[in-house]
Amino acid sequence: MFNKIILLVFTFTIINVFSQKKDIEKLDEITITSNRIEVPFSKVSKKITIISAEQIKQSAATNLTDLLQNIAGIDVIRRGTNGMQSDIKIRGGNFQQVLILIDGFKTEDPQTGHHTMNMMISLDNIERIEIIKGAAARVYGQNAFSGAINIVTKKISKNALSVNANYGSFGYVNGGASASKELKKSKHFINISHQESDGYRNNTDFKNNNIFIKSSFNTNKKPINIIGSFADRKFGAQYFYTSPASNFTEYEETQTSLIGVSTKLNLLSLSVKPRIYWKRNQDEFLLKRDDPSFSRNHNISNKIGVELNTFYKSKIGTTGFGVDFAKVYLASNNLGDQHRTMINGFVEHRYVTKSGKLDFTPGVAVSYFSDFGFNTFPGLDVGYKMNKKTNLFWNIGSSYRVPTYTEMYINIPNFLSGNENLKPEKAFTQEIGFTHKVNNFNINSSIFYRISNDLIDYVKETSVSSFYKAQNLRTIKTKGLEFNVDYKITALNYKQTVSVGYTYLKDDYEDVAVFKSRYLLNNTMKHHLTASFQTQFFKNIKQNVSYRYVEKPFNKYHIVDAKITANIYKFDVFVLANNILDTAYFEKEFVQMPKSNFEVGVKYNF
């Protein structure tokens, strides 16, 4: 079946019909804000995936988690529906090793990477998503170990008001409203939403409230931009972190907020982009939902950061340099009261030869942690333009991640133990690949190799071990292959799109001499194939079918989702069917995902 599906997918991608150039040209003109040096997408010499607002709207996803799981090479470990609790992994890395940014503001949590996706932005508020696969520490510092995802929110462009309501399986309801207002010297936007569900299995019910605010002041001169986000989540977490043998009834509540202020100043050939932000997360976790006295973990983390990023254009190229400073605080009844000072500085220079065919971007970042000292992350990007259609690229870089406070200090008797003597993780990554664009046909492919030292995981060394203990593992080598194909055609006077992605990963985790691990050794993705078919045959109706195949050591599965959207007067309506094949599957051991389910939604634009 798998081979037949691959053959079918590739048959679609090689069909040769007439197409238009506008969509690819529009994408090429996007300035990548996830770079320190601003570069148009068409001239970037590294592996960056762009998900545009149009692609988001036409996708079969209704939340950020479900959207990302259809990108080849991104392994989304969901423990519930509608993105309530999920971990993000890139190219076989750990969920602790991915940095999520919102408009360039870092949102990592010093307590644990499990909180990475706590503060999801509604898809309606996203302009695009920039995904860097591979070492990004040279750009962002320590948490961008295996990659980074920058969520760029939409600009406030006009006065508008809309309301929406969704209903779905398992008693799922979702309601929200958005409003934007343009004044003489300022613009403002607010989105509020509420979701809840009875849960698709025992003790997976949830309630979730979100508020997102974006404002721009002094719009007639040098705009000052402010974003604010708050997410309050309460959810049953059955087997989210333990196994059925433990017989716990886990429960968790989180509150996550972000406030960020930024601006951009242009001084002749010098551009200066200062930022200041405050990120807070509060987490309460119970092993027994109805008995808080049995085991209650309460944590409050705060991060206050200041960044100053600049780039200078001259005859010899573009030079970027900057520094960010942050203080981190944690108050916890289990992990203790902790604090950390972080300083990260970087410099890089992009040089393009006179012919415009060859470009070099060497750079280095230097980080300081008050509890781990100094470290450096050198890297190099090289690009070669063979012709107007084909570009080659080669990247090398190092990355680094300090342990989270959970990894160092967690203590749950007879279950989980931290390790104060953990060393930071380190890795060296290199990648070589190409991109090829012809009209509306786009293909890119690459091979990559990562050598990781001292990776951190919770392990049992023998079958008689009574608990998992955090340890540094030996050197791990990971190699892989990735390709993506996008093809846009015009049929029946409407645009039709076929997208295919595939990632293959090979590592030597099996050679690690331990009995069992919680995250790395038993849960690494080997094959990941994704495909989506976006079609339109009538003026106001669009369809999307998405497919993914995932193979892991303990599980492999095929999933098909489908969505129909219609625009009727001022109404946007959709019908979504998830897991059409009614597949029984696991993204994490012991957490069976739901079989076939549905969701319908309507949005009214005033």
The rounded distance, in Å, linking the Cα atoms of 178 and 547 is 31
Give CB contacts under 8 A, 24+ apart, made by 572-579.
572/602, 572/603, 572/605, 573/600, 573/601, 573/602, 573/603, 574/62, 574/600, 574/601, 574/602, 575/599, 575/600, 576/60, 576/62, 576/168, 576/600, 576/601
φ and ψ at residue 237, rounded to 5 degrees? -130, 50
Asked if 453 and 425 touch (Cβ cutoff 8 Å), the reply is: yes
Burial 110-127 (b: 16+ CB within 10 A, else e): bbbbbbbbbbbbbbbbbe
Tokens 């991104």 sit at which residue?
Answer: 74
Separation of alpha carbons 479 and 455, rounded Å: 16
| Amino acid symbol at 345 | G
Smallest CA-to-CA distance from 387 within 340, 434, 422 is with 434
State the Cα–Cα distance between residues 330 and 338, nearest whole angstrom: 5
The residue-averaged pLDDT of 556-571 equals 95
Indicate the pLDDT class of residue 9, thresholds 50, 70 and 90.
very low
Q: What percent of the chain has pLDDT over 70?
A: 93
**pLDDT of 16:** 37
Averaged pLDDT for residues 297-301:
96
One-letter amino acid at 143 equals N
Across-strand partners of 90? 74
Q: How confident is the model at residue 325 (pLDDT cuts 50, 70, 90)?
A: very high
Short-list 135, 59, 150, 42, CA closest to 437? 42
Residue type, 429: T
- The pLDDT score that the predictor gives to residue 522 is 60
Beta bridge partners of 285: 252, 297
DSSP strand pairing (98-102 vs 147-153): parallel
Dihedral, CA of residue 466, residue 97, residue 382 and residue 448, to nearest 10? 40
> What is the C-alpha to C-alpha distance for residues 457 and 290, in angstroms, rounded to an integer?
30
pLDDT band at 521 (very low <50, low <70, confident <90, very high): low
Q: How far lies 531's CA from each of 485, 502, 503, 555, in Å?
A: 9, 9, 12, 20
Q: What is the dihedral of CA 580, 584, 589, 592, to 10 degrees?
A: 80
d(CA 497, CA 426): 40
pLDDT band at 8 (very low <50, low <70, confident <90, very high): very low
Map out the domains of the chain as residue ranges. Answer: 2-605
The bridge status of strand 172-182 relative to strand 186-197 is antiparallel
* C-alpha–C-alpha distance, residues 517 and 495, integer Å: 47
Across residues 458-470, what is the average pLDDT?
Answer: 82
Q: Is the Cβ–Cβ distance between 594 and 84 less than 8 Å?
A: no
Beta carbons within 8 Å of 6's beta carbon, 6+ residues apart:
529
Report the DSSP pairing between strands 74-78 and 86-90.
antiparallel
Residue with the bigger pLDDT between 184 and 463: it is 184
The pLDDT value recorded for residue 38 is 76
Instruction: Give the Cα separation of 487 and 583 in Å (integer).
Output: 28
Residue 11, helix vs strand vs coil: helix
How many other C-beta atoms are found inside a 10 Å radius of the C-beta of residue 37? Answer: 22
CB 488 within 8 A of CB 42: no
pLDDT of residue 28: 58
Integer Cα distance of 139 and 283 in angstroms: 29
pLDDT (0 to 100) of residue 158: 83
Binning the chain into helix, strand and coil, the percentages to the nearest 5 are 10, 60, 30
Q: Which of 357, 359, 350 is nearest to 312 (CA)?
A: 350
Chain centre to alpha carbon of residue 266: 30
CA distance 103 to 187: 17
Task: State phi, psi for 11 to the nearest 5 degrees.
Answer: -60, -40
For the stretch 312-322, pLDDT in tens is 999 899 999 99
How confident is the model at residue 7, as a pLDDT?
Answer: 41
Whether the per-residue pLDDT at 482 is higher than 80: the answer is yes
In degrees, rounded to 5, the angle at the alpha carbon of residue 51 between the alpha carbons of residues 47 and 57 is 170
pLDDT reading at 234 higher than 90: yes
Structure confidence at residue 34 (pLDDT): 54
Q: At a CB cut-off of 8 Å and minimum separation 6, what does 315 contact?
A: none
If you average pLDDT over residues 395-424, what whole number do you get?
Answer: 92
Give the Cβ contact number of residue 281 at 10 Å. 24
14-62 per-position pLDDT tens digit: 333 333 344 545 555 677 765 567 777 777 888 889 999 989 988 999 9
Mean pLDDT value across the chain? 89
Residue 489, beta-bridge partner list = 496
What is the tens place of the pLDDT at every residue in 153-187? 998 978 999 999 999 999 999 999 999 999 999 99
SS3 label, residue 587: strand
Cα 502 to Cα 491: distance, rounded to the nearest angstrom: 26
- In angstroms, the CA 343 to CA 374 distance is 9
Both tokens of residue 476?
A: 């791990």
Using the predicted structure, report yes or no on whether residue 1 has a pLDDT greater than 50. Answer: no
Supply the CATH classification number for the domain 2-605.
2.40.170.20
